[in-house]
Amino acid sequence: NAGCVQNCTNLDGQYMCSCDDGWLLNADAHGCDDVNECAADNGGCAQNCANSDGMYLCSCDDGWVLNADAHGCDDVNECADGNGGCAHTCTNADGSYACSCNGGYELSANQHGCQDINECANGNGGCAQNCNNAAGSYSCSCNAGYSLNVDGKGCTNINDCSPNPCLNGGSC
């Protein structure tokens, strides 16, 4: 091997040492030093480059996957697999995703689940008299002797004496 660390080529009356891919013949013309492929242009890797003896590997950040050329990174559509774990709506973005909820619901602390908003707990839901919470919505209602206005929130006193007081509980 004539003192060559990796490869030796016999020539007429002499020899020549060489190195495998990923290695560079050092100054003594016998030994081989690792080439840090990541030092130049990140090794051609789109995101992460990890150098090791005689080679390097590209990798991708969370939310991305290494593509077929082993250098580029493609977005992972987390929403395509089980709706990203979102209870209602999953929206994919480059390298990430976000969950959101339908109207009447708010995102829970785990950022995936949705819980009903109790609209009645805030200002009686804007209802003049009674607020009735339901899953994802609410409705207003009025006490006896009142009718719900067309706005769905206000209440108007029913005139028990008009047009026929006997039909509406009035005195005859």
> How would residue 1 be classed by pLDDT, with cut points 50, 70 and 90?
confident
Q: What percent of the chain has pLDDT over 90?
A: 87
Q: Which residue has the tokens 């593509």?
A: 67
DSSP 29-55: SS-EEE--GGGTGGGG-SSEEEEETTE
* Dist. CA 33–CA 23, nearest whole Å: 5
- Residue pLDDT, tens place only, 102-160: 999 999 999 999 999 999 999 999 999 999 999 999 999 999 999 999 999 999 999 87
* Dist. CA 101–CA 119, nearest whole Å: 15
* pLDDT higher at 46 or 160: 46
DSSP 82-118: GGGG-SSEEEEETTEEEEE--TTEEE-TTSS-EEE--
pTM of the model: 0.62
Judged against a pLDDT cut of 70, whether residue 165 lies above it is answered with no
Query: What pLDDT is attached to residue 2?
Result: 80
Token pair for residue 22? 């990923």
Judged against a pLDDT cut of 90, whether residue 57 lies above it is answered with yes
C-alpha count within 13 angstroms, C-beta hemisphere, residue 54: 5
